[in-house]
Chains A and B, each alone.
Chain A
């Protein structure tokens, strides 16, 4: 073991610390500190001061090391952001495919380097715009997509061989990915040249985000199908984005976000190995992650450093992956929507800047910064521009990207990283003992852990223990009015007309045949992807395809834990 400090220094440190503590005690007796207990936003206790003694048990090589080398605590790339800045990837989607395509072109013009798609709720849930369940929701929280015709408009003028596109889509991930693949084929781009991500992470849906369609087992089957298909035919695609973001938004602590996300990732690895007989090195390099960057600066940085280290360990020793790329945790980050406030909305610019800085110091590969108005609605163009500029200022003005992992070696940062790592391992072992994440979800375990944490935080806000500026402190009477983006009724009308028109002119026999083929594939437990691509190319709607899944696999309903 390569100890971080020599014995002599630690002895000296210890005696100096005791002297300092005696002085502090006297001072506090006269003038107490602001609070008796200081803690992070996740209520993790933080000490007054950290010294070499706090990290005396760290092993320099095994705990910290170098960037680009195992255990990757300091980052996965040898040159950090000196080689390449993270991807500016703003999550965006609104109204019709045409509305969103215009917004995308604007963002690319403003210097965005990757695309990220927000779908509306009907699309996210596998319903068409003309379903009674979609009334009032079409195009509201993202773009409405019903058929390949919509998708072609969405990516019009976007070179799919050059720009990478992320799609936040879960239960119908096979359908939206098939549409993207069909568009690439139409553009003449070979499948091994397209890059991007489908979120495709159902476990966190059952745990937190609640966008679900099928029961857990068949949901896992579809995910393993995409992993297998991507491995064979779309090698540059991230077939899953294992997400902590929504777990955190649902009210978890930072450690819960870390632990549940990693344990979800392990569940996917095990499922693909078991059901598809894949070797982890065949697919693990295409697993990607997605974290939240919340308002507690250091806790977030340490969470991300710990995440890389745990994942590297898991892939190397638990699953015996040999390719270092399989050990890498590559992740996207989004600043915390739940930290923003409707009150005094301009303050949100500041919150987002701090959170974005934490993500950068945590070593993210790509970043979405929330717009100040996102507590009310989808962002206006002006608000998005400020959010994107926030990233560009951090990257290109502040100098924080000049050196790699600048906070390494800080007594506090290294100690907190270690503490979070240890706390996450405790959760992971607990879930292992329950029989894995599917079993834990069935028992409602992660759901209730999060509900407890969310409720506790709410009480801390209510009693003033946790400050939310503009909400429970520094409250102002006058309203700060900001411009609001409204999605008007035109969107729903236009979309319904489009869908009706596509349904009228398509070849119904071809649609039926494609859907029958898909149904047979589901029943025979074949990989659904080739059949799903065939169906979208025949202009089957998203819901028609999802209805086949529902019919074969059944439907999952929210158990409503609280």
Chain B
């Protein structure tokens, strides 16, 4: 059952097109041996959740650099819950002021990574905190 690779979706909610970080992460995850789905820019939370369910992912990494993270990240978590898929881990990154971290944690975002974070640090967090969903059953 549990011998498939971890499936990660890198997603860009909102209207900003700053996708350098998202694409670097997507490539890094792929090079690190995960299965990666990248949504491209300008996704609504609804589109992200639908795609995540369809692709049966274990982790969603949200990237937002427009300042709309407090609106968009919690909405993804809420929609996952409504679909009964709240075992999908959600993490976020982008231009996120430190004073907003707690708000995001309180709304179900499990970790927040901002610019300058070494890629390996993100991988380490994932390996320690995210499991292939079937293994959890």
Give chain A residues whose Cβ lies under 8 Å from the Cβ of B35: none
User: Residues of B contacting A251 with CB < 8 Å?
Assistant: 20, 24
Whole-angstrom distance between the alpha carbons of A468 and B98 in the complex?
A: 21
Is A451 an interface residue when CB atoms closer than 8 A count as contact?
Answer: yes
Asked if A558 meets B67 with Cβ closer than 8 Å, knowing A211-B17, A458-B119, A462-B119, the reply is no
Interface string of B25-50 (1 = CB under 8 A from A): 01110100000101111101000000
Chain B residue numbers with a CB within 8 Å of A557 are: 40, 42
Do A560 and B39 form a contact, CB below 8 Å, given A342-B114, A342-B115? yes
- Which one of B17, B39, B71 lies within 8 Å of A210 (CB-CB)? B17
Pairwise interchain contact A135-B41, C-beta atoms closer than 8 A: no
For A210, give the chain B residue with the smallest CB separation.
B17
In whole angstroms, how far apart are the Cα atoms of A471 and B115 in the complex?
Answer: 9
Q: Closest residue of chain A to B116, judged by CB?
A: A471
> Are B16's CB and A121's CB within 8 A?
yes
Contacts of B28 in A (CB 8 A): 455, 458
Q: Are A341 and B23 in contact (CB under 8 A)?
A: no
Residues of B within 8 Å of A487, CB to CB, are: 67
Do B116 and A121 touch across chains, with their CB atoms under 8 A apart?
no
Which A residues touch B93, using CB under 8 A? none
Contact A560 B40 (CB under 8 A): yes
- The dominant DSSP class at the A interface is loop
Are A343 and B95 in contact, with the CB atoms below 8 A?
Answer: no
Among B10, B72, B114, the residue within 8 A (CB) of A136 is: B72
Question: A360 an interface residue at 8 Å Cβ cutoff?
Answer: no
Q: Which of A133, A136, A558: most chain B CB closer than 10 A? A: A136
- A234 contacts chain B at the CB level, 8 A cutoff: no
B66 and A141 contacting across the interface, CB-CB below 8 Å: yes
In chain B, positions 36-86 with a C-beta closer than 8 Å to chain A are 36, 38-42, 44, 66-68, 70-72
Determine whether the beta carbon of A137 is less than 8 Å from that of B15.
Answer: yes
Beyond A127-B15, A451-B27, whether A375 also contacts B95 by CB under 8 A is yes
Q: Is the CB of A560 within 8 A of B38?
A: yes
In the complex, B92 has a CB within 8 A of chain A: no
Chain B residues bordering chain A, tally (CB within 8 A): 37
Query: Cβ of B41: which chain A residues have Cβ within 8 Å of it?
Result: 210, 558, 560
A122 at the interface (CB under 8 A from B): yes
Q: Is the CB of B66 within 8 A of A121?
A: yes
A20 at the interface (CB under 8 A from B): no
Complex: A124 Cα to B26 Cα, angstroms: 26
- B119: chain A residues at CB < 8 Å are 458, 462
Q: Nearest chain-B residue to A559 (Cβ)? A: B40
> Is A125 a contact partner of B66 (Cβ separation < 8 A)?
no
Interface: A338 (CB within 8 A): yes
Residues of A within 8 A of B44 (CB): 132-133
* Contact present for B67 and A562 (CB under 8 Å): no
Are A376 and B95 neighbours in the complex by a CB distance under 8 Å?
Answer: yes
Q: Please give the distance in Å from B15's CB to the nearest CB on chain A.
A: 4
> Cβ of A249: which chain B residues have Cβ within 8 Å of it?
18, 20
Residue on B with the closest CB to A376? B97
Given contacts A210-B41, A343-B116, A451-B27, contact A124 B67 (CB under 8 A): no
Q: How far is the CB of B12 from chain A (nearest CB, A)?
A: 8
* Bound CA span A127–B15, Å: 10
Contact of B24 among A136, A377, A454 (CB under 8 A): A454
Q: Hey, which chain B residues are within 8 Å of A210, CB to CB?
A: 17, 19, 41-42
Question: Most B CB atoms within 10 A — which of A141, A341, A462?
Answer: A141
- CB closest chain-A residue, reference B43: A558
Q: List 19 A-B contacts (CB under 8 A).
A: A121-B15, A121-B16, A121-B68, A135-B71, A136-B68, A140-B66, A210-B41, A376-B95, A377-B97, A462-B118, A462-B119, A479-B98, A557-B40, A558-B42, A560-B41, A562-B22, A562-B26, A562-B36, A562-B38
Binding site for B on A (CB under 8 A): 121-122, 124-125, 127, 132-137, 140-141, 205, 209-211, 249-251, 338, 341-343, 375-377, 451, 454-455, 458, 462, 468, 471, 479, 484, 487, 557-562
